[in-house]
Structures are given as C-alpha cells and as structure tokens.
Chain A
Amino acid sequence: MRKIFLATSMLILGMSSSVWAAPSGTLKQAHDLGFGENSSLDPISKGRVFQMTDKLMDRLVRPSTDGTPGPDLAESWSANADATVWTFNIRKGVKFHDGSSLNADDVMYSFTRVLDPEIASPARSAVKMIDTMRKVDSHTVEFSLNTPFADLPLTLMDYRLRILPDGSGDTIAQTGIGTGPFKLQKLDFQGTTTLVANEDYWGGAPGVAKVELIAIPEAQARLQAFMGGQLDILYRITEQQKTMLDGSNRYNVAQVPTGNWRGLVFRTDVEPYTDARVRKAMRLVADREALVQLVQGGAGNVACDSPVAPNDQYRANISCPQDIAQAKALLAEAGYPDGIEIDVHVATLEPTWPTLGVAYQAQAAEAGIRVNVVQTPSDGYWNRIWMKKDISATRWKERPADQALHEIYLSTAKWNESFFKDSAFDELLATARRELNFEKRKALYVKAQEHLYENAGTLIPYTVTMNIGSASRVKNLDTAIEAAVRWHLVTVD
C-alpha cells in the first residue's frame, strides 16, 4: 500500500515539474521621463515613452535576429512587379488587450493616423511613400505607393509604427491598448508604471509576470539605481560609467554596435562651405580611428561620413584615412593657403560633443585650420544653434539606409541640417528606390554614400557602440537595440 502511495506521489511530482513554467518574477527598467508632462502611450506622438509602447504594442514587421525584416503582426507580404503595390497578410487569431480581435481595419486605421497631416506625427516622414491603402479582406491590406519602393517592409520595422485598435486615437495616449506581450496595469509616468504579462499573447506567454518602468531623469541616478539592484536592465551606459561595473559578477555588460552617430555639420549654403573642396578638406583632417578612441573610449565603429549603420545591408565599404597634405592642398586651391579660422558650436546636451570638438580642434590644427570650440547652452540648442550656426554638433539615432539618406540629405528634407542641395544625389536616391534588383540597388546606395564622402558638409566620424547592462538574474535578453528585443522571451530568476 505504501509502495503504491509513494509511486503515485513520485509520478505526480514528476509530471508537475515538467509542466511548462508560467510567467514569474518582476523586471525593473527605467525611463528618463524626457517629455515630462507630455509623456504619452501613443507610439506616433512626440512624447511617446518607447520603453512602454515597445512592450504594449506590435508592428506589422519586426527586425529578425540578423536585421532583415521578419514577420510580426504581418505573417507574409508580397509586391507587384514594379514594387508600387504591396500586399500584407495579417496574422489571424490575435487579440488586443481589451479582447477585440485584430483585423485589417485596425491596420488601416493605425497607418491613416500616421499619415494624417493634421496630427503631423514625426513618424510621418518615414512612410510618406504610401499613397493609399485598400482593405482586400478581413486579414489582408494593400498599400499603394507613390513611387516604386522595394524596401517597404524594412521601413515598416520603425519602432513607432505600432498597430492600434480601430478608433482608439483619442484615448490611446492613456490606455496603451495593443497586441503586445504585456498589458497596462497602472500608468504613472512620473513614478512607476506597471505592466503585467499578457497570457494570451500570440507569440506565447511572456517569461516575466510583471514589468515595472520607473521614471529616473538623471543618468547618474539611473546608474546608481542599477548598481544598487533597484533596476534590472540599463541601456546606454557610457564608457566612463561602465568602468564601475567591470569585474563584478552581479552585472553583465553587453556591447551592441548601433547606427547612432555624432558629428559636425558644416552648412553647405554659407561661405566658405559652398565650395566642395573646403568641405572635403574639413573632413579629411579627421583621424577617425583616433576620434573613436578619444571620444568614445573605443566603443564605436569608424564611419566615412555615411549615416548608414555598420550592419545595414546597404553599407558602403569606404576607406577614409586622415590626409593632412591633401586637406592643405584643397584649402590652398580654394583660396586659403594660410589655413582658415572656424567656430564649432557644441553643448553638453550630448556629453561627448565638447570632447569631439576639442579632439577635432587638435587634429584640424595640423592642416592650418584654427578651430574655436564655442560652448553654447543646452537649453534650446535645437532651436538656436542647430541648423542656424555655420558649424554645429549633431547626433542621430540609427535608421535604415534609405530613410537616413532621405531624411538628412535630400534637398527637400525637413532635417537637412547641412542644407545640402544636390540634384545628382537626389536622382541617385530616387533611382535606387525604384530599382527592384537587390545587387543593383545596393550599388546605387553605395554610390550615394561615396558621393557623400566626396561632397557632403557633414563630418560623420563614427557610429556609437551601445553598452547594455543587465543584472545577472536577467536571462534571455536579446543582445540588440531596444527596438529589436523580443521582450516576451526575457526571464528573471
């Protein structure tokens, strides 16, 4: 009798331990409350708190582990012969957090909002090529473009293009209803916002039961909270801060090369930078490898004035060594045989700008370029200095190649910070978009980047490598930028 009892209890124990584990534990992350009172859960608004929207809502397309477009809410897609009409098949059986089912209406509503000129979302510029949308059936949507564009899925990977329930525009900023692996339990932008696991998530129940997002505006305070165990993950740890974490087995620091970059913009519409030779000279004096070491402490990849990310499929392989002799020759040819005096405007808005300015000053001096590094207040930098002064520092977050080249260098782009108006370049971009063959398209984008290296007014010396800190209790966190992390896979001990 006892033997039977023992055997049965062993059997039951054995079975229960092989039952698939339910979501457990709490993950704590911080956000910097960059928009204060204007914070919002609307993914296309200026004040979007992406740490929250990334977990609450899904996109049609997401970056897969190798960076190419992979299915998210769209299971598959296809284009017509000249890539002007794209058809997306929406995943079936997906539910929003409020119980309603996902269908084509929700997709069309979400994109109509992004394209609405009245809402004027900053995300609109990413999808301006979409002309009209058509609902083919309950789970199929057709996008008609105003230009042939072979890379539409790549563009739809943008972290802001999340799918919302039809008609939720007025309330989405506070409700955050989406199809994502977590749903909103308590919203408090200024304090701690709590998200709980969406057990019915279409990708499988998440590994953690709760996510807490805590507002900590100050970078130093975030680091201290991470070191003291009050946070489990910390993104964008600077090189100086990283030294405090080295050698400890309580934290893991992963490094991810990103396409984020910092640089100096020389306005091409003011003297003497209207002359391409002067512009090239300004950029030739930069020893980019040295700048990576000095400014980023080695955490960066050399870039040759191209805003395309190092692991982007359209990245051009250009060699750009420092060439003082050539720079001097170009300046002499342009009418500055004794060098030139310039003012470079920086601010501590981006902590590495002043360092970049000073390092550049030392390098440019060798070619007779006398740089004055002008410190300006961070407050109002983007309104008073950037796109106003002759030379200013700038920074950009990464984007797909096509988007980056259009947003920064197209003659009609809003953020064409160097006022670069080059019809040959515009033509190259337009042709590249229309080209359906990948190899030929890549060749065109490479040519565009080489054109920038020869003629642009913006010095892009490197792209930044991001340090990501995680406590040792966090497991299965993808080593990637936040927009590519599969949050439902993360578990905590």
Chain B
Amino acid sequence: MTKMLTRRVLLGFFTIIIVSIIIFTGVELLPGDACTAFLDRDAFGKLLENCRENLGLNRSGLVRYFEWAFAALQGDLGVAANGTTSIGELVGDRLKNSLFLAGCSLSVGIPLAIFLGVLTGLKRDKPIDIIVSTGAIFAMTIPEFVSATILILIFSVWLGWLPGIVVVSASAPVQDFFPEIILPVVVLAMVMTAHMLRMVRSSVIDVMSGDYVQMATLKGVPYWRLVFQHALPNALLPAINVVALTIAWLVGGVVVIEVVFNYPGLGRMMIDAISDRDLPVVQAIALIVGSAYVGVNLAADMLTMFLNPRLRTMYVK
C-alpha cells in the first residue's frame, strides 16, 4: 500500500514537471513577450529596452526556465510581470477565491446531485425521473455564459434581488463575497449537478439490478434499509471519481463564469497572464492546477480503495 502510494506521488511529481515545461514552451512560442504585450503601440526604442531589462527578458528561454524552476523548488515563485508584485500573494489570493467558490458550489451541488440521482434511479421512468433527467440535459447543454447571463438578467436587472457582478477586490476576506457569490454558485451547481446526477442515477440502477439486491429482497429485507445500507454505499463509489474531477475543474477551469461575473479567481488570471505573456504567473498557476488534478485524483483513488476492500488486494501478486 505505501509502496503504491509513494510510486503514485513520484509519478505525480514528474507529471507536474512535464506540464510546467510544456506550458513554458507554449507561451514562449507565442509571438511577443511581456513587454510588447504591455506597451503594444509604444513597444519600441528606449521604453521597450527599459522594460525588457527590468524584467530580465533579454536572456534566453532556457536560462529563464531553469532559474524559475530552481526558485520554485525552494518555494519562491517570483514576481509578476510588472517586476514588483509577489506571485505568492497574487496567486494565493486568487487560489483562496477559487477554493471558496469551489467549496460553496460543491456543498450545494453534491448533496443535491446525490439526492436527485438516487431519487431518479429508484423511480426510473416514472414522471419524476423524466422531468429531472430532461432538466439535467438542458442544464448540461446550455452554455454556462448563457445561463449566467439569463440569471443576471432576471435576478439582478429585472427583479433586483441579487447583485449581478462581483465588485469586491481579490484580496478581500471571503465573507465579503456574499451576496454576490450566490448567482455564480447557482450556475456552477446547476452544471455540476446535471453531470453528477446522471452518473449516480445509472450507478443506482446498475446496483439495484444486481444479484445480491435480489437476494436481499427475497430474504425479506425492508426496502429502505436495503437501499441505504446495501445498495447506496456501492452505488456511490464511482461518484467519488466524478467528484474528484469536478473539484479539479472548479479550481482552474471555470474561466467563463469568472469572466461573466467578474469573479477574481484562478481561471481568469491564467487567461489574462497568457495574454500579457506574464510567464511567472502562468507557471505558478500551471503548478497549482496540475497539482490539484494529480492530488485530487490520488485522494479519490485512495478513498475508493479504502471503501472498496476488493481493490486493496488487486495489486498484490
């Protein structure tokens, strides 16, 4: 078990290194650099020279990558493209905001998805199942920015019940994000729930048609005890992996929501940093998101193995 664990951690570490190299090369290959991006029409002559000198951009890509890598290994992520703001602070704030948004969305989305998934799985093909499943398909297919804009129109402009856009700064404490965070959470939870509930539903249907469930019914086990004690624990195991991927997605991938609601999270910062050719920030975010995917997947696998004893002995010869 520990051998497997250390192997997975080492593999994860190498994955992140490779990711950082690929992303660095990718952004380097884009035309222009941080100074031309900032100065645009004024990018020539003394102004450009000064800028490049300040940021050390007149050295080769290889040199800059290794300098960054050595510093990062020691925990120093460097400074942003303006030469002064510390990345630790900058990205740290955005990470906190993304985690907060992820946390709120998950705390709404997961219970809802499990509840609806079980409900529709048990009541398969009944009216409730048809309504909820169709609703889920709508929520999955309508793009997030469409549902976000519609919600803002209804709740912020017409009814005036909720503020539409986040106007709080990135470094504010998380409680300042209420009530502006309500609409983004609703949109994210909608999308998340739609995906997860269909997964839970098919899993429940699968389990409920299994042999041991039939056996328990024949033995006379009461229905609800059957569902909660015997069927559900098995049905929910695959959901753990979906939840893991969802968590990783929420940390770095919800750019559209962040842009529409002006939410100061990691996704938007990544896009802005690429467009500004701000390599230290891009690398820092790549590290964080990469680690999130690796870490969360590892945790999910560990949890599944813990809950499902059959998997524990799978690797033993």
Contacts and interface: CB of A to CB of B under 8 A. Distances in A.
Interface of A: 35-38, 46-47, 117-118, 120, 122, 188, 190-192, 214-218, 220-221, 224-225, 227-230, 379-380, 382-384, 386, 414-415
A120 B165 contact: no
A224 B164 contact: yes
A379 B32 CA distance: 9
A220 B260 contact: yes
A379 B272 CA distance: 11
A194 to B, nearest CB: 11
A384 B36 CA distance: 11
Contacts of B259: 217-218, 221
A127 to B, nearest CB: 16
B44 A414 contact: yes
Interface string B167-186: 11111100000000000000
Nearest to B42: A122
B276 A230 contact: no
A228 B157 contact: yes
Contacts of B80: 37
Given A120-B47, A224-B152, A380 B264 contact: no
A218 B262 contact: yes
Contacts of A414: 44
Given A224-B156, A228-B160, A383-B32, A218 B40 contact: no
B164 A228 contact: yes
B43 A191 contact: no
A117 B40 contact: no
**Which range contains the number of B residues in contact with the other chain?**
35 or more
Nearest to A221: B262
A383 B36 contact: yes
Given A46-B39, A383-B32, A228 B156 contact: yes
9 closest A-B pairs by CB: A191-B169, A120-B46, A37-B82, A228-B156, A225-B165, A228-B164, A120-B47, A382-B40, A221-B262
B275 to A, nearest CB: 6
A374 to B, nearest CB: 17
A46 B157 contact: no
B261 interface: yes
A190 B38 contact: no
Nearest to B263: A221
B41 interface: yes
Nearest to B44: A414
A224 B162 CA distance: 12
A221 B157 CA distance: 12
Contacts of A383: 31-32, 36, 40, 43
Contact of A216 (B149, B156, B165, B170): B165
B276 A218 contact: no
Contacts of B172: 191
B170 A191 contact: yes
Nearest to B81: A37
A224 B167 CA distance: 12
Contacts of A192: 167-169
Given A218-B260, A228-B156, A384-B31, A35 B167 contact: no
A117 B36 CA distance: 19
Contacts of B278: 36-37
B42 A46 contact: yes
Contacts of A415: 41
B75 interface: no
A324 B264 CA distance: 52
A224 B31 contact: no
B46 A118 contact: yes
A117 B39 contact: no
A382 B168 contact: no
B70 to A, nearest CB: 23
B264 A379 contact: no
Contact of B50 (A35, A120, A218, A382): A120
Interface centre among B85, B163, B167 (most CB of A within 10 A): B167
B45 interface: yes
Given A46-B38, A216-B165, A221 B260 contact: yes
A120 B165 CA distance: 38
A118 B51 CA distance: 12
A228 B157 CA distance: 5
A493 B36 CA distance: 44
A292 B94 CA distance: 43
A383 to B, nearest CB: 5
Contacts of B260: 218, 220-221
Nearest to A244: B157
B169 to A, nearest CB: 2
B283 to A, nearest CB: 15
Contacts of A122: 42, 47
A267 to B, nearest CB: 16
Contact of A190 (B81, B152, B170): B170
Contacts of B38: 35-36, 38, 46-47
Given A220-B260, A228-B157, A383-B31, 12 more contacts: A36-B82, A120-B45, A188-B169, A190-B169, A190-B170, A192-B167, A218-B259, A224-B165, A229-B160, A379-B275, A382-B43, A386-B41
A142 B118 CA distance: 83
A383 B38 CA distance: 11
Contacts of A47: 38
A286 to B, nearest CB: 25
15 contacts: A35-B38, A36-B81, A36-B276, A37-B82, A37-B85, A37-B278, A38-B81, A46-B38, A190-B170, A220-B149, A221-B261, A224-B152, A225-B167, A383-B32, A414-B44
A212 to B, nearest CB: 8
Given A35-B38, A120-B45, A382-B41, A191 B168 contact: yes
A36 B36 CA distance: 14
B41 A117 contact: no
Nearest to B145: A220
Contact of A191 (B164, B264, B276): B264
Contacts of B149: 220, 224
Contacts of B31: 380, 383-384
A35 to B, nearest CB: 7
A217 B262 CA distance: 8
Contact of B157 (A118, A224, A384): A224
A229 to B, nearest CB: 7
Given A36-B272, A38-B38, A190 B167 contact: no
Nearest to B259: A218
A354 to B, nearest CB: 20
B91 to A, nearest CB: 12
Interface in B1-52: 30-32, 36-47, 50
Contacts of A229: 160
Contacts of A217: 259, 262, 272
Nearest to B260: A221
Contacts of A37: 80-82, 85, 90, 276, 278
Nearest to A227: B157
A167 to B, nearest CB: 21
